[in-house]
Chains A and B, each alone.
Chain A
Amino acid sequence: MADHTTIVVSSGDMDKLYSALIIANGSLSMGMAVSLYFTFWGLERLTKKGLAKGPLSRMNLLGLGKAFMKWRMKKANVASLERLMADYRDLGGKVIACEMTMEIMGLRREDMREDWIDEYGAVGTYVRDARQSCITLYV
């Protein structure tokens, strides 16, 4: 198995995005290659609407829970998702966008943050990277 981490980002929830980007950056920092495969609600976060626009996966409480979490994160000096994505790209992390989800959700390439996306693909592209990976995760 090669030193590669592949994560499917199917959720657009803010906390799940944090998990994915922290593990992805941690993997890059320890010398591994990384692929993030964005699909369904995860893919929506790659649109120009913004990475942090999703709710919390639990205790969102119509946005109150999320606001509280954001306040706590700010106090703890947690980096923003934008910063984590910028570092991820800077360290050579790869982003794959699911084409089928784009079709289902009616997303066009001009709706997407194309500066973050390396490749548009389907399950074959995911498996190509996942089969070379010693860490594969699904969030």
Chain B
Amino acid sequence: MGQITIDVRGETCPIPLIEFRKAVRQAQPGDVLVITGTHPASQKEIPMAAEALETKVVSVEGSPDNWTIRVQR
């Protein structure tokens, strides 16, 4: 099982969601995606997208303007 890191710090709507989607597409089942960003709404919305894409949110850490989210495909 691999790990894919996505850095969307400084990016705003809708780029964090788009980059998350691209990474899910690239990931193999079991892979963990580690996404870091600074866009406040995305801290809430990447977990929403993860649910919609039937992936598992492992953790959400940090503050709304500096967060790290781990998602397992």
Contact = CB atoms under 8 A, between A and B. Distances in A.
A30 B14 contact: no
A31 B53 contact: yes
Main secondary structure of the interface of B (DSSP, over half): helix
Interface string B47-73: 011001110000000000000000000
Contacts, number: 43
Interface of B: 10-15, 17-18, 20-22, 25, 48-49, 52-54
Interface stretch (A8-16, A35-43, A73-81, A104-112): A73-81
A28 interface: yes
A32 to B, nearest CB: 8
Q: Which 10 A-B pairs have the closest CB atoms?
A: A29-B17, A29-B21, A30-B52, A25-B14, A31-B53, A31-B52, A87-B18, A30-B49, A22-B14, A26-B14
A78 B20 contact: no
How many A residues touch the partner, as a band? 10 to 19
Given A25-B18, A28-B21, A77 B52 contact: no
Contact of A29 (B11, B20, B54): B20
Interface of A: 22, 25-26, 28-31, 76-79, 84, 87, 90-91
A29 B41 CA distance: 15
